[in-house]
Structure 1
Amino acid sequence: MAISQPVIYTVSRLNNVVRLLLEQEMGLVWLTAEISNLVQHSSGHWYFTLKDQQAQIKAAMFKGQNRRVSFRPQNGQQVLVQGQLSLYEARGDYQLIVEKMQPAGDGLLQMKLEALKTRLIAEGLFDPQRKRPLPSQPRQLGIITSPTGAAIHDMLTILARRDPALPVILYPSAVQGEGAVPVLLQALETAWRRNECDLLIIGRGGGSLEDLWCFNDERVVRAIATSPIPIVSAVGHETDVTLSDFAADLRAPTPSAAAELVSRDQQQQLHRLTQYQHRLQQAMQLQLQQQQLSWQQLYSRLNTQNPRYQLQQKIQKQDELQYRLEHALQQTLSRAHYRWTVQQQRLQQQSPQNRIQNLQHQQTYLYQRLLTAVGNQLQDKNQALSRLSGQLQALSPLQVLARGYSVTTNTRGELIHNSQQVSSGDTLNIQLHQGTLKVRAEEIKPEN
């Protein structure tokens, strides 16, 4: 029986295998813990420890994820985090890579909210096809909110400014706290039972997730979704989103925005009436212009059948033809005169007399150029001759003799360069600048 060989790991490979096992087996986990040893690195990444009374784990939250955290975490703060278990292979540290972080209280509420939202979406409660259009001009508006809050004051102010003729009924209700849910349900039932409004606004001002929690209550959400009267949800600020917003027929970012949406702006209505009046005036003016044009056409047709008009047309036509004939004759004469002028100019240009004059001028010009060229060349030759004569004279032996030198030759005419060429008693000829001497060598002194 063969014995299997044990697998031998390197440290790097072992850490890599452990990291893959942690990431693949555990996946994303939720964890509630206390933050300690928080380091916010200059790179933007966060490194910290998550702990409870018995244990701790190292954690990291990178820049791309921590920029979405809505608060500044502190050491000792309880938080709810979501992340993935991993291993920092370089040091073998077991750690949690955090992707989401919330304060512990809000985090638990957010988890509860997400779970309820997922379930209601699966039921189709938030299906857009269930939503109804709002009445374009509501006959009476109902508002479900706190009678003492800032939201009702803002909405009534906007409604009074934009659409003071729109009647408003307030169904007072608590909008915060544990007892708010039954009061909200009772206000909705009252509005349905009376059936005196064809549009409802339900909402309140901004607050924390806990403050707005009654609008995430499943009973309130289902009541809004099944309301026989169209509802506009106006809860919190623009960034606040509740389940009531998904269930309502329309979500307004704020209570003030809801009042803007459902009211009819008097200025816009006045502008619309002005536009209608302008369009009516334009239509009447267009109709009048069309009638006037029709009358003018009939009058023109009547005039065209008048014999006097026809005679005038014939006379005008005759005058026009006569003008065109005179104009054509004038143009023909002008063109003929132009052609005659051109031919006359060409004939003058081809005249022998002109050509003879041109040739004479050309001959005179060439003769002058010839004289100039010959004079310049003769001057150049004289200058060259003088220069060469000077050079020849400078090199002439006579000039050397004139300075006191002489040329000595033997009877054979050979030049005597040194004393070794001459023997005692030899006859020598000495050429001076003026005249020649014949001498006899008597004493010869060799060069020292």
Structure 2
Amino acid sequence: MAISQPVIYTVSRLNTVVRLLLEQEMGLVWLTAEISNLVQHSSGHWYFTLKDQQAQIKAAMFKGQNRRVSFRPQNGQQILVQGQLSLYEARGDYQLIVEKMQPAGDGLLQMKLEALKTKLSAEGVFDSQRKRALPTQPKQVGIITSPTGAAVHDMLTILARRDPALPVILYPSAVQGESAAPALIKALETAWQRNECDVLIIGRGGGSLEDLWCFNDESVVRAIAASPIPIISAVGHETDVTLSDFAADLRAPTPSAAAELVSRDQQQQLHKVAQYQHRLQQAIQLRLQQYHLSWQQKFTQLNIQNPEFQLRQKIQKQDELQSRLERAMVQKMRQSRQQWEREHQRLQHQSPQQRLPLLTKQHSHLLQRLLAAIQNKQHTSEQTLSRLSSQLNALSPLQVLARGYSVTTNANGELIHNSHQVTEGEKLSIRLHEGTLLVTTEKVQPGS
């Protein structure tokens, strides 16, 4: 009997096989849980943990999907997500790749709404071919709404202002709560039996998804789709979309807009164009949703061969490496900062500025000594100058002149020492102690 050889896997091969089993067997799943450890990476991807009281699972939502999330998730928040089970092969982590995310309360209602929408769409309830055009000039308009709400007041005000001759009949009904759906159906049946209006407006003012839920009720939606009278759905604000909007012949963004659509004025042609535009948008939206459902089914089947998974794996690996690089850079910058501070302290310790006060003090002391030396030298020089001046004055010719002597010079400035140097009639200059005399010789007496 031959013994079969055991299959030996590598870690990488084993993780790949496990990932394929998870993705192939489970496909897309809905999960409600509490979000924790939320990391919004700089790349735009989200990484977080989904948990309940007994267990947890890691999850990732890439930026191509999280751009469509209409709220900002927070740690501790209860959410509803749709995603695909997978495995991050690099670490062997079992995880959920999230494609849709909603708050838990609205999310469950939204999931229920999407399921019913898919069902009715598949049955053709929303087909654009069965929708009818509104009468161009309605003879009488019926309104199905609460008689005490703000919506009926707005519609009646607009109708009275734009087309006061147009008759209006109100079919009162609850528009919120458990009794609203039967009341809406009863109001519709009353309008059909009386057959007194050629167009109906059904709707109410804005509110939460739960407040508007009666307009997503299957029986109400089917009744609107089966109405023999054309119906305009005018539920909530422009951003509020209900299944009644898809079933009606025309969706108005608000009750006030519905009143404008059925009233006649100078903008009638523009309203007609708007009606065609809304119908076209509804048809396109419905067709796109049908294509999207078909695409999702094919995508699930082909996901195993889709290279997107490898891209997601690489993205997660890249984000992980980037985080490690950022931490290493922070650590390196911290070490460099500490090294710089040590060098800075050493430099400050050896800085000339530390010695500057001492050198300044020494300079001040030497300057004082220099000034004292200069003053002493000046005093000594003044004494010497005074002594020499006295000696010089004692030898000065001026002192001799003061005793009665004089100095005689000729016209050339030469000193006259004896009479042989002078001729008769020559002009001489005689310098006295005070003043000078100019004389002319008359007779020269030769010296002996």
Q: Normalising TM by the smaller chain, what interval?
A: 0.5 to 0.7
Say if 1:128 and 1:267 are closer, same or farther in 2 by CA, change over 3 A. closer
Does structure 2 retain, via aligned residues, the 8 Å contact 1:203–1:236? yes
- CA–CA separation in structure 2 for the residues paired with 1:172 and 1:63: 47
Deviates more, 1:5-14 or 1:254-263: 5-14
Task: Report the CA distance between 1:229 and its aligned residue.
Answer: 1.4
Gaps of 5+ in 1: 270-448
- Whether 1:180 and 2:205 are equivalent positions in the alignment is no
Q: Tell me how large the CA RMSD over aligned residues is.
A: 1.8
Letter of the 2:193 counterpart: R
Letter of the 1:6 counterpart: P
Deviates more, 1:253-262 or 1:85-94: 253-262
Taking structure 1 as the reference length, what is the TM-score of the superposition?
Answer: 0.57
Say if 1:233 and 1:101 are closer, same or farther in 2 by CA, change over 3 A. same
Could you tell me which residue of structure 1 aligns to residue 17 of structure 2? Answer: 17
Could you tell me which residue of structure 2 aligns to residue 119 of structure 1? Answer: 119
- CA–CA separation in structure 2 for the residues paired with 1:198 and 1:174: 23
- Whether 1:87 and 2:87 are equivalent positions in the alignment is yes
- CA–CA separation in structure 2 for the residues paired with 1:24 and 1:101: 22
Deviates more, 1:157-166 or 1:169-178: 157-166
Task: Report the CA distance between 1:205 and its aligned residue.
Answer: 1.6
Could you tell me which residue of structure 2 aligns to residue 30 of structure 1? Answer: 30
SS in 2 for 1:58: strand
Could you tell me which residue of structure 2 aligns to residue 253 of structure 1? Answer: 253
Letter of the 1:8 counterpart: I
- CA–CA separation in structure 1 for the residues paired with 2:227 and 2:160: 27
Task: Report the CA distance between 1:125 and its aligned residue.
Answer: 2.1
SS in 2 for 1:259: helix
Instruction: After the TM superposition, list the runs of 4 or more consecutive aligned residues in structure 1 that deviate by more than 6 angstroms.
Output: none
Could you tell me which residue of structure 2 aligns to residue 150 of structure 1? Answer: 150
- CA–CA separation in structure 1 for the residues paired with 2:267 and 2:62: 52
Does structure 2 retain, via aligned residues, the 8 Å contact 1:162–1:266? no
Task: Report the CA distance between 1:18 and its aligned residue.
Answer: 1.7
SS in 1 for 2:210: coil
Letter of the 1:186 counterpart: K
Could you tell me which residue of structure 1 aligns to residue 105 of structure 2? Answer: 105
Task: Report the CA distance between 1:268 and its aligned residue.
Answer: 6.0
Task: Report the CA distance between 1:147 and its aligned residue.
Answer: 2.1
Does structure 2 retain, via aligned residues, the 8 Å contact 1:199–1:229? yes
Letter of the 1:253 counterpart: P
Deviates more, 1:83-92 or 1:115-124: 115-124
- CA–CA separation in structure 2 for the residues paired with 1:153 and 1:46: 46
- CA–CA separation in structure 1 for the residues paired with 2:210 and 2:109: 8
- CA–CA separation in structure 1 for the residues paired with 2:214 and 2:145: 12
Letter of the 1:250 counterpart: L
Over alpha carbons, which structure has the higher Rg? 1
Could you tell me which residue of structure 2 aligns to residue 374 of structure 1? Answer: none
**How many aligned residue pairs are there?**
269
SS in 2 for 1:30: strand
Deviates more, 1:107-116 or 1:47-56: 107-116
Could you tell me which residue of structure 2 aligns to residue 167 of structure 1? Answer: 167
Task: Report the CA distance between 1:238 and its aligned residue.
Answer: 2.1
Does structure 2 retain, via aligned residues, the 8 Å contact 1:234–1:253? yes
Letter of the 1:64 counterpart: G
- Whether 1:236 and 2:241 are equivalent positions in the alignment is no
SS in 1 for 2:264: coil
Residues 279-299 of structure 1: per-residue CA shift (max 9 Å, x gap): xxxxxxxxxxxxxxxxxxxxx
SS in 1 for 2:237: coil
Say if 1:93 and 1:101 are closer, same or farther in 2 by CA, change over 3 A. same
Could you tell me which residue of structure 2 aligns to residue 226 of structure 1? Answer: 226
Which structure exhibits the higher relative contact order, with contacts defined as CA atoms closer than 8 Å and separated by 6 or more residues?
Answer: 2
Letter of the 2:13 counterpart: R
- CA–CA separation in structure 2 for the residues paired with 1:77 and 1:268: 49
Does structure 2 retain, via aligned residues, the 8 Å contact 1:163–1:266? no
Report sequence identity in percent. 92
